[in-house]
Amino acid sequence: MEVNRDEDLRSETPPPSFLVPLMPVIDLLIPILLPLGKMVESRFSFYTDEKCTGCGLCGEICLANRITLNSGRPIWSEEIKCYGCLACFNYCPAQSIQIKSKWYLKSYTEKNGRYHHPSISGKDISEQKCFEKNKR
């Protein structure tokens, strides 16, 4: 028997009361909105500013293996889908990596700050990435 996870989630967590009358409309829109969301989720334009030191940490921690260094500057491959983890952005020691997103009408820049879990380092991510690669 196939289990529909969406139905399981809906039965576990009832919608807020103001949404209940809208649920039939929301149910009709979900098949349209979910694929649209997946289409735009990795449409980020990454670039570096003049603060880039060429340390290569971004390439080491990119889980999609999308980043390579060219003349000491990171290049993001357009052929490889970004997972949207933003580790390269958040762990850049020089805060040089910037992001523009046409879809979300917001650019992530130094004005918006950076965040990563205080107990997880860039080295931890890199080591996990190597462990997963060797496990295959």
**What is the Cα–Cα distance from 72 to 100, expressed in whole angstroms?**
21
85 with 28, same domain: the answer is: no
Task: Give the pLDDT confidence score for residue 136 in this predicted structure.
Answer: 56
Confidence at residue 117, expressed as pLDDT on a 0 to 100 scale = 85
- 53/115 same-domain check: yes
> What is residue 68's three-state secondary structure?
strand
Q: Are residues 32 and 80 in the same domain?
A: no
Does one domain contain both 85 and 58? Answer: yes
Where do we find the tokens 């290569």? Answer: 56
49 and 36 both lie in a single domain:
no
Confidence of residue 65 (pLDDT cuts 50, 70, 90): very high
Q: For the stretch 20-42, what's the b/e string if a residue is b when 16 or more beta carbons lie within 10 angstroms of its beta carbon?
A: eeeeeeeeeeeeeeeeeeeeeee
Q: Are residues 30 and 61 in the same domain?
A: no
Q: What is the pTM of this model?
A: 0.64
Domains contained in the chain, number: 2
* Co-location of 113 and 68 in the same domain: yes
> Do 91 and 130 fall into the same domain?
yes
- The tens digit of pLDDT for each residue in 105-135 reads 556 665 667 888 889 988 888 888 766 666 6
Q: Please tell me whether residues 53 and 36 are part of one structural domain.
A: no
- Residues 36 and 67 both lie in one domain: no
Q: Are residues 87 and 52 in the same domain?
A: yes
Predicted confidence band of residue 1 (pLDDT cuts 50, 70, 90): very low
Give yes or no for residue 6 having a pLDDT over 60.
Answer: no
Tens of pLDDT, residues 26-44: 889 888 888 776 666 656 7
pLDDT above 90 covers a percentage of the chain that reads 32
Q: Which domain holds residue 123?
A: 45-135
In terms of phi and psi (left: phi > 0; alpha: psi -120 to 50; beta: otherwise), the region of 52 is beta
Same domain for 61 and 104? yes
pLDDT band with cut points at 50, 70 and 90 for residue 70? very high
